[in-house]
Amino acid sequence: MSEDLRRSMLIRLKTYRKAQCMSQEKFAKSLGVGQTYYSQVENGEISLSYHILDGLYSFDCDIDNLVTGTQKLSADGFLTECIDNTHPASKMNMYTMIITGFLQMWDWDLNNHWEKCLYSELVSISVLRMMRATFDERLYYLRIVNGMSQQELANLLGIGRTKCGKCEQGTKKLDAQLMIYLYKHGYCLPSFFFEEYVGLKGIATLLEKDRDKQSRFYEYVRCVMNNITNCQ
């Protein structure tokens, strides 16, 4: 991670903590780490770990904006609500149809780096029918769909193949620095490793740019949900 990217990320982390009206000690405790450890993270002495990022996401922190400085994600929860209101046995079908439908209808601008990352995520999900997958499954799926060998992924991240293998096995996790390498190369946004329903907030964010398409797509989602309900 370049020094500028690291510095700006740490500024956003400190800004977020202060916005929660928390001291370093209180914030560290809420994240399940010691104050000294957290202070070293905020001061840039040690890396921003997966554990802390996971804790931040559970507080509804926008991980993508925090790590990369990208646009804030939409707060529109319509798509998530549709899945949550679907019968448990049909949630996967509902989720998959949302993803595949959006992939087909959206006019993708793959020269836009943010859209390119989201597209890569959604293709991974639609091909492998991934929902609520573990961290290691998500990393493995992402690599396979993008046609990378484990050695190629290790080279991209600047780590050894052994460590890369441990990440895919779930015994190690990517920190913020490694996640930003994936983002910089157009593979995924950091939230890919934390979201319950990967990509839905990104879809909602894009749809807010085109209200006509948003209306049509939401109508499509309602029809899908009604058809699934009627078939049960």
pLDDT digits (tens, 9 = 90+) for 153-180: 999 999 999 999 999 988 999 999 999 9
Angle at 7 between CA 173 and CA 116, to 5 degrees: 60
Residue 1 has pLDDT above 60, yes or no: no
- CB atoms closer than 10 angstroms to residue 172: 18
Confidence of residue 124 (pLDDT cuts 50, 70, 90): confident
pLDDT at 4: 78
Distance CA 201, CA 222 (A): 17
- Tell me which of 26 and 137 has the higher pLDDT: 26
State residue 138's pLDDT score: 86
CA nearest neighbour of 188 among 225, 160, 156, 159: 156
Token couple for 44:
């840039």
Could you tell me the pLDDT band of residue 2, with boundaries at 50, 70 and 90? low
pLDDT bucket at 130, cuts 50 / 70 / 90: low
Asked whether 68 and 179 are in contact (CB, 8 A), the reply is no
Query: How confident is the model at residue 231, as a pLDDT?
Result: 74
Are 145 and 126 contacting, i.e. CB atoms less than 8 angstroms apart?
Answer: no
Tell me the average pLDDT of the chain.
91
pLDDT band at 9 (very low <50, low <70, confident <90, very high): very high
d(CA 194, CA 32): 17
